[in-house]
Amino acid sequence: MYYNYKFMDEFDFSEDEVAKEFICPECNSKEEPEELFASKGPPSDLSSKKSDPWDSVLQQMECISCHMIIPAHLGQRWNDLSLEQAQKQWKDFYKKNNKKQKF
C-alpha cells in the first residue's frame, strides 16, 4: 500500500463491514450526500510533516446542507468510528485543508 499516514491505519475498511448512515462531521446533517470517487497517485513525500491527509482520500461526499466535501471514511464512520472521533479527525486533519475538495 502506498499510504502510510500515522492516522490512516485506523481506516482500514474490511469487506465484512457495512458503511453507516452518513452524518456530516461539520454540521451533523443526515441528508444523503453526493458521492465523489477518484483515482489518485500516491503522495509525493509520505515522511513529510507537511503531507496533506487529502492525498489519500479516494472517496469524498458533498454534504447537501453545508456543502463541505467530507472524506467518506468520516461521513460514514468506517471501522466503528464514533461521531465524536469523526468530528475530531475532521477538525484536526481535514477541515483546514478542505478548500472544497473535488479532486
**For the segment 9-62, what is each residue's pLDDT rounded down to a tens digit?**
444 545 555 568 999 999 999 998 888 776 555 445 545 666 788 888 888 899
Report the DSSP beta bridge partners of residue 59.
37
- Please name the residue that has the C-alpha cell 477538525: 91
- Supply the pTM of this predicted model: 0.64
What ranges do the domains of the chain cover?
Answer: 1-11+25-43+52-103
State how far Cα 31 lies from the chain centre: 17
pLDDT confidence of residue 102: 54
DSSP 9-43: GGG---TT--PPPP--TTT---SPPEEEE---PPP
Report the DSSP beta bridge partners of residue 43.
none
DSSP state of 62: E
Q: Of 60-64, 67-71, 78-82, 84-88, which one has max mean pLDDT?
A: 84-88
